[in-house]
Amino acid sequence: MCTSDLRAPRVLVVDDMADARRTLARLLEAEGFEPQEAEDGSRGLEMMRAQLPDVMLVDMKMPGMDGPQFLDEARKLNADVPAIVVTAFGSIASAVETVRNGAYDYIAKPFDNNKLVLTIRRALETHRLRKENRQLLRSVGKETSLPAVMGPSDCVARLSAEVQQVAPTDFTVVITGETGAGKEIVARAIHRHSRRAAAPFVPVDCGSIAPGLMESELFGHEKGAFTGAVARQTGRFEQASGGTLFLDEISNLPLPLQAKLLRALQEKQVCPIGGRKGIKVDIRVVAATNRDLTTMVAAGDFRRDLYHRLNEFAIHVPPLRERRDDIVFLAGRFVTLTNEELSKNVREISPAAIGVLMAHTWPGNVRELRNVVRRAVLLASGQVEREHLGLGDALGANETSSPEAGPTIDRAGPLKAFVRRRMKQLERDVLIQVLRETGGNKARAARMLEIDYKTMHTKIKEYGIPT
């Protein structure tokens, strides 16, 4: 997403109908967004001046300043904020014209809640990608190798060598690793060093899209293919033509859709929903998963033929706790990036704070480290101190009996078994804490932890967490 990981994405709803605004606000809040309501265009502009939203939902028909007029003024304040136009069926032609003039997309009333949420997420993702592209253009000529992005450890050096080996080919690649370890960074590196580098890199998060919408997301649909399909929509396969399609968390793909994906890969063509003719596509597929696909194959949850079609080359991204030589490098890099983002001048991380970072087990991997450092830079002035990290005692409160006695631990069994037990306990404690913070809202908790809903549900069941 283009937004800070320290807060929920802000969605400004501009609609003169109070009931419609409240209904949308409840839906958005349940989906992990921060809704903001404006009863007309003038109020919407005031709210934009006070605090820029991350995306806007704008009703076409409003008294006084209507939707198109509001968008014209909003673009003068900030042309980058994506806008989604909400319109009645009879005003679709006007909405299409608004999209031509710069709105991100439109959605017709009555709309499907899942489709609306998906459209918002797409808008946020598109905005994030544009921002990244601008940053990449500004950094032309700078070092973009994996060690320059991920760290100097031997693990990253091995990853870099594997990327250099497979990138020039058209092999389909499966990247495995825990959530937040950097699988998408590796996928982008494969694309960047391939002959397809000038074409699109199109990511799809298979864990965040409702199963009923996934086929349309991948393959597109024709106008009239189903209720609400008021125009033709190209799928991600077509969008990635000539480039790389990145299927993140592919283990969440439903079995019926796995068969269609396999056919698309074998025949190198897709058929949109409601279409009669196949469309040729020239893409390379890179897939990623935080689960063991061989175990899923054995259990009948993942097609064996699709697994072998995808697994032409495998890359494993180790968790951050297994490449501790990267922690200080990454923390320093995140300090620099956050300084640029927040226009701050935090110069360094204190030795005490580095000690805390090195002692932490990082169950959330690099993503967790990034969030911790960004928050610390926000709070710090000259340098990051240990109290800015928000990690407390790096060993965890439940491990320490007293400063003199040291941590109280169960020493029975080999080291690996002990570490696994402690990691499971830590993971369970984190899940309980986040569920408590979200009032038991599993979908919101999954988004805060940046895991998919299915994984959240599985872990709650595995650990016997009451909900």
What mean pLDDT comes out for the span 7-28?
89
What pLDDT, on the 0 to 100 scale, is given for residue 242?
92
Torsion sign over Cα 406, 407, 410, 416:
negative
d(CA 106, CA 304): 40
The CATH code that applies to domain 406-463 is 1.10.10.60
What pLDDT, on the 0 to 100 scale, is given for residue 416?
60
Which tens digit of pLDDT belongs to each residue from 267-314? 999 988 888 888 899 999 999 999 999 999 999 999 999 999 999 999
Mean pLDDT of the chain: 84
Cβ distance 212 to 253 under 8 Å? no
Please report, for the chain, the start and end positions of each structural domain, with discontinuous segments joined by +.
10-123, 143-318, 321-394, 406-463
Instruction: Name the token pair of 258.
Output: 């796995």
Higher pLDDT, 154 or 404: 154
Give me the count of residues in the chain. 467
Higher pLDDT, 205 or 442: 205
The set of residues, in sequence order, having a beta carbon less than 8 Å from that of 262 and lying 6+ positions away, is: 303, 305, 306, 309
What mean pLDDT comes out for the span 61-85?
86
Residue 446 burial class via C-beta count within 10 angstroms: exposed 0-12, middle 13-18, buried 19 and up = buried
Q: What is the secondary structure of 189-234 as a DSSP string?
A: HHHHTSTTTTS-EEEEETTSS-HHHHHHHHHEE-TTSSTT--S-EE
Residue type, 340: E
d(CA 447, CA 252): 16
Q: 310-324, 369-383, 414-428: which range is least confident on average?
A: 414-428
Phi, psi at 206, each rounded to 5°: -70, -10
d(CA 274, CA 261): 17
Q: Is the pLDDT of residue 391 over 70?
A: yes
Which tens digit of pLDDT belongs to each residue from 312-359? 999 999 999 999 999 999 999 999 999 998 999 998 999 888 988 998
- Options 3.30.460.80, 3.30.70.990, 3.40.50.720, 3.40.50.300; CATH for 143-318 is 3.40.50.300
Q: Is the pLDDT of residue 153 over 90?
A: yes
What pLDDT, on the 0 to 100 scale, is given for residue 407?
40
d(CA 59, CA 41): 9
CATH class of 321-394: mainly alpha
pLDDT band, very low/low/confident/very high, at 63 (cuts 50, 70, 90):
confident
Same fold across 143-318 and 321-394: no
CB hemisphere CA count around 463 (13 angstroms): 19
What mean pLDDT comes out for the span 436-459?
77
What pLDDT, on the 0 to 100 scale, is given for residue 400?
36
% of the chain at pLDDT higher than 70: 87
Name the CATH superfamily for 10-123. Answer: Response regulator (3.40.50.2300)
Which tens digit of pLDDT belongs to each residue from 93-130? 676 777 767 788 888 888 888 888 988 988 887 777 66
pLDDT band, very low/low/confident/very high, at 28 (cuts 50, 70, 90):
very high
